[in-house]
Amino acid sequence: MGKLAGKVAWVTGAGSGIGEAAALALGGEGAVLVLSGRRRAPLDAVAARIGEKGGTVHVQPADLMDAAAVQRVAAFIRDTLGRLDILVNNAGLNIVERDWKRLTPAGVDELVHGNLSSALYCVTAALPMMRAQNDGVLIHTASMAGRFISPMSGPVYTAAKHGVVAMSHSINMEECTNGIRSCAVCPGEVATPILDKRPTPVSAEERARMVQSADVGDLIRYIACLPPHVCINEVLITPTWNRGYVSAQQRPV
């Protein structure tokens, strides 16, 4: 029996990348899964993989930038499953035209709503169920861009992910007496489909040196399996071959 048997986990952005890896890892520990994202087909594919191994999965497609859609998923979880133990708040996005020279108001809205508003909506939907249980863990996929500032990710993505990190710490400040723990996971470069949105293409060789989705999924599994008296507030995970460090080494002193 897995460590998460009897637990319910809601994973957002579950159709690919880190969300997919987290769903597979949590399913492997016996959690009942609720998978959300904008496109049903990828969610169904992930659900099928978990189901083949005997896991229980509920697919609940939703545009997480829509507060009402988020509340509908939460209502399904409450009314059908009766509890929520784990939220993997993973949905996020970036755009190619991310620098100040090319940013538009529409791009700003997409980045803020896709990376910060959606995370906040999911937290407000999850917390009432967790408070009622006096137990729960929220794990948010932030980014190294949520802790450090560089031009790579773009200013609005960076600002939004800083907001996710601040959001997570504020949850611990208010909800620790309700048995609720929140963790901001801040990955460096991870070989996920979001790299396809980079203005400069990333080669297959470079991607192979990066942290892989399964590595972050296993970290999320570890955090979710910790005992209720333990809170990992924030964690950074980066490639050993850190391209930022390598580039700095190659610059003349």
**Whether residue 121 lies in the annotated active site:** no
Pairing of strands 57-59, 180-187: unpaired
Active-site position among 121, 157, 222, 245: 157
Residue 125 and residue 34: Cα distance in Å, rounded?
A: 14
Q: Which tokens in the block code for residue 8?
A: 């319910």
Buried b (16+ CB within 10 A) or exposed e, 25-42: bbbbbbbbbbbbbbeeeb
Query: H-helix or E-strand containing 190?
Result: strand 190-191
Residue 167 and residue 158: Cα distance in Å, rounded?
A: 14
Is residue 22 within 8 Å of residue 88, measured between CB atoms?
yes
**At residue 188, what are phi and psi to the nearest 5 degrees?**
-80, -140
- Tell me how far apart the 2 most distant CA atoms of the chain are, in Å: 62
Residue 210 and residue 234: Cα distance in Å, rounded?
A: 20
Catalytic residues: 157
